[in-house]
Amino acid sequence: MLDHVLDQLRRYGHDEVVVNAYWLADQIVAWAADKPGVRVVVEAPAVLGTGGGLKNAAPLLAERFVVVNGDILSDIDLGALWAVDAPAVMALRAQNEPVHTGVALENGVVTGIGAIVGAGDPARHFTGVHVLHRDVLDLVPPGEQCIVRTAYKALVPRGVVRGVMHAGAWNDIGTLAEYEAVAGG
């Protein structure tokens, strides 16, 4: 899974990569040992989540950076996200059934995220892939795990979060059953 994400990042010119690890961190550190440009930040002793993990890794992050959740497989165009200049740019995807939290989008501006901020739209969801400016991490309080419930909750009402629709491949493989469904079991 991590090789897929690393290959995707490198295809778009992102050669310096920070991997946030908690579960099986020793295996992730071993995986990264022979990967040039890859640094691993281990969350310990408690899981920090995306918000806390990014905040913890902030000294290693560029002023603007791409975030790709490690438990998805996709062909999201990271260049399209990078081309949008905003404090936060989310890759969004249509969904036929409201499996994931809905995200409302008007003229490229995210106006709501489910029950978190504003009214979400169940016809689309956040893919777990986004571009952020590092100062967005200042909106994540110490000890907080969720970037969406903190930074995005503060930014969406300001009208500064952009969304880019993705129509290609995207699979959540965060559980063994989801992975097996994608891998052919």
List the CATH number of the domain containing 55: 3.90.550.10
Q: How far apart are CA 71 and CA 54, in angstroms?
A: 16
Written as tens digits, the pLDDT of the chain (185 aa) is 888 899 999 999 999 999 999 888 999 999 999 999 999 998 877 888 889 899 989 999 999 999 999 888 899 999 999 999 999 999 999 999 888 899 999 999 999 999 899 999 999 999 999 999 999 999 999 887 899 999 999 999 999 999 999 999 898 877 778 778 777 76
Give backbone dihedrals phi and psi of 11, rounded to 5 degrees, phi first. -60, -30
- In the chain, the number of structural domains is 1
Residue-by-residue DSSP string for 62-131: -SEEEEE-TTEEE---HHHHHTS-SSEEEEEEE-SS--S-BEEEETTEEEEETTTBS---TTEEEEEEEE
Partnered with residue 92 across adjacent β-strands are 126, 165
Amino acid at 71: D
Mind listing the pLDDT tens digit for each residue in 4-54?
A: 899 999 999 999 999 999 888 999 999 999 999 999 998 877 888 889 899
Nearest Cα residue to 50 out of 137, 111, 109: 137
pTM: 0.91
Give backbone dihedrals phi and psi of 71, rounded to 5 degrees, phi first. -105, 30
Domain span holding position 80: 2-183
Task: Compute CA 146 distance to the chain's CA centroid, rounded to the nearest angstrom.
Answer: 11
